[in-house]
């Protein structure tokens, strides 16, 4: 015996077309588009530094504080590599200006232009002001 073929499937029914609505037709309120303050001006600074909120001036996290203290002790010994390594560990644990500035100061004193510039990009120009003159003694311009 041969099985009977399955019954034919009805073709899909066409769905009714939906009329497009304009924004005025909808009852939902849409917030207006925010216009820039001045055409062509942005708040971002060159070099990827933003005008956003400033980082903490000093760490509050226990690990960040401990690493910053180790960096300061290394600075007293004029151990640039340890200063930079401990300062980086401090601002990695908790982003803080004191650790960034200590690393930049040590790198300026060592005269390492490339490393100073790399480190300085992590800090807003307005926060570099205390170190500008000191770095210029080593012919390093922090604000370039």
Question: Does a structural domain hold residue 17?
Answer: no
Number of domains in the chain: 1
Choose from 7-11, 44-48, 69-73, 126-130 the range with maximum mean pLDDT. 69-73
Residue 87: inside a domain? yes
Residue 91 lies in a domain: yes
Evaluate whether residue 111 is within a structural domain.
Answer: yes
Between CA 40 and CA 68 the distance in angstroms is 41
Which domain does 95 fall in, by range?
Answer: 62-136
Tens-digit pLDDT profile for residues 63-107: 999 999 999 999 999 999 999 999 999 999 999 999 999 999 999
The verdict on residue 100 lying in a domain is yes
Q: Is residue 12 part of a domain?
A: no
Residue 118 lies in a domain: yes
pLDDT of 40 reads: 44
Q: Is residue 110 one of the residues assigned to a domain? A: yes
74-109 b/e with 16+ CB inside 10 Å = b? bbeeeebebbbbbbbbbbebbebbbbbbbbbbbbbb
């Amino acid at each position: 015996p041969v099985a009977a073929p399955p019954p034919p499937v009805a073709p899909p029914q066409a769905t009714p077309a939906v009329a497009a609505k304009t924004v005025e037709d909808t009852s939902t309120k849409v917030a207006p588009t925010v216009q820039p303050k001045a055409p062509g001006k942005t708040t971002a600074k060159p070099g990827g530094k933003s005008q956003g909120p400033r980082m903490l001036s000093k760490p509050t996290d226990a690990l960040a504080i401990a690493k910053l203290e180790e960096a300061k002790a290394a600075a007293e010994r004029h151990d640039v590599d340890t200063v930079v390594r401990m300062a980086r560990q401090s601002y990695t644990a908790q982003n803080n200006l004191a650790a960034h500035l200590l690393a930049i100061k040590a790198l300026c004193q060592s005269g390492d232009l490339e490393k100073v510039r790399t480190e300085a990009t992590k800090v807003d120009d307005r926060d570099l002001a205390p170190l500008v003159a000191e770095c210029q003694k080593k012919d390093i311009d922090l604000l370039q």
